[in-house]
Amino acid sequence: MKPAMPEAENELVNITIREAEPGDLDAIVEIDKQVSGVKKARYWRETLEHYSGQRGSEFFLVAELRQSVIGFILGEIRAWEFGSPSCGWVYAIGVARDHLQQGVGSKLLDVLCGHFRQADVTKVRTMIARQDHELLSFFRSYGMMAGPFQQLELDLENLRTD
Ligand SMILES: CC(C)(COP(=O)(O)OP(=O)(O)OC[C@H]1O[C@@H](n2cnc3c(N)ncnc32)[C@H](O)[C@@H]1OP(=O)(O)O)[C@@H](O)C(=O)NCCC(=O)NCCS
């Protein structure tokens, strides 16, 4: 006889991934605060307003379980930035602390990648802090690898003005 599925895996089938709506703002702010330690209500309000424009290349999705938002993902298709043909970018992802490691993040990324594929995009990219082992493990386990670009930066106070 097959072993019973753990409760968390059972829960995954009850999770819906849908477009974010203005009423999701508080939940998104709270999840982001849990994962980043910073409350950014204004940033998320403006981002939600911007992404609800339905341009077909921008995606703000949430994971919902029994009328509660338990995760979000933000992504966009961009063409020719950094000389790259159209590619899908993952800008942000977050899963509520009490729903971690139950497949919610993967389900959000699956749906986002599905939107990218529907738009005939063949690559997905993201950028993460080197020391962020949680995100790095998550994206690596999804199959993402180091890409061909190198990020550069400069402290502007060191910029020569002469
Ligand atoms: C990264 C994150 C999205 C993963 O969400 P999740 O729902 O827990 O991920 P999943 O359950 O789909 O995990 C898929 C795989 O990722 C890897 N993974 C996930 N969390 C991990 C962790 N803490 N450590 C190591 N590997 C991890 C595992 O390989 C896992 O597969 P497994 O469960 O079979 O081992 C979540 O931990 C999170 O929100 N972290 C904070 C993100 C953040 O800082 N966002 C702000 C900037 S964008």
Half-sphere exposure of 34 (CA within 13 A, CB side): 16
* Domain contains 34: yes
Residues 6 or more apart whose Cβ sits within 8 Å of residue 24: 48, 62, 69, 72
- Average of per-residue pLDDT across 20-29: 96
* Domain contains 158: no
* Domain contains 160: no
- Average of per-residue pLDDT across 5-22: 83
* Domain contains 157: no
* Domain contains 156: no
Quick check: CB of 95 below 6 Å from ligand 1?
Answer: yes
Atom of ligand 1 nearest to the CA of 95: 39
Residue closest via CA to ligand 1's atom 18 equals: 138
* Domain contains 31: yes
Specify the pLDDT at position 14. Answer: 93
* Domain contains 153: no
Please determine, for residue 39, whether its predicted confidence score (pLDDT) is greater than 90. yes
Quick check: CB of 105 below 6 Å from ligand 1?
Answer: yes
Give the CATH number for residue 102: 3.40.630.30
Residue of 114, 110, 106 whose CA lies nearest to 77 = 114
**CA geometry: angle 62, 20, 75, nearest 5 deg:** 75
**What is the distance in A from the centroid of ligand 1 to the CA of 25?**
22
pTM (2 decimals)? 0.93
Q: Which domain holds residue 31?
A: 7-147
Please determine, for residue 9, whether its predicted confidence score (pLDDT) is greater than 80. no
Number of domains in the chain: 1
Q: Calculate the alpha carbon distances from 96 to 21, 35, 113, 122, 126 in Å.
A: 18, 8, 21, 29, 20
* Domain contains 2: no
**What is the distance in A from the centroid of ligand 1 to the CA of 67?**
22
Atom of ligand 1 nearest to the CA of 132: 44
Specify the pLDDT at position 159. Answer: 87
Please determine, for residue 141, whether its predicted confidence score (pLDDT) is greater than 90. yes
Quick check: CB of 8 below 6 Å from ligand 1?
Answer: no
